[in-house]
Structure 1
Amino acid sequence: MLAIISAVLFFISFLVNAADISTNDTFTSTNIMLLGLMVLALHVAGIGSGWSVSGRGRRR
């Protein structure tokens, strides 16, 4: 889920940069890209990945 959010943030950042949309200082394409990188780092770290299936329900 976090990877999808990160992809959406990267896409918004690309659109802001490619269309040369003037935004205020908070929502620049660089800041949106950095938010996407932060969310991607959380995804890689395993935050928000949900339940682990590997050890649950398959006990012998």
Structure 2
Amino acid sequence: MLAIGAAVLFFISFLINAADISTNDTFTSTNIMLIGLTVLALHLAGVGTGWSSRRRR
């Protein structure tokens, strides 16, 4: 699920950059891309996978 969120953030970043949309300093394409990279890193680290360390009997 986090990978899908990262892909959406990358797409929004691409649209802002490709359309040359002027945004304020918070929502620049670079900042959105960095948030997407953070979400992707969390996905690769296994956060939000739903796996638990407890075994069910």
TM-score, normalisation: structure 2: 0.89
Q: Would you identify which runs of 4 or more consecutive aligned residues in structure 1 move more than 4 Å? A: none
Q: Residue in 1 aligned with 2:6?
A: 6
The answer for unaligned runs of 5 or more in structure 2 is none
* Equivalent residues, number: 55
Please list, as runs of the form range in 1=range in 2, the aligned pairs for 1:1-60 lying within 5 A after superposition: 1-51=1-51
Q: Extract unaligned runs of 5+ from structure 1.
A: none
SS of 1:10's equivalent?
Answer: helix
Higher alpha-carbon Rg? 1
SS at match of 1:21: coil
What amino acid sits opposite 1:41 in the alignment? A
The offset of 1:50, in angstroms, is: 1.2
RMSD of aligned alpha carbons: 1.4
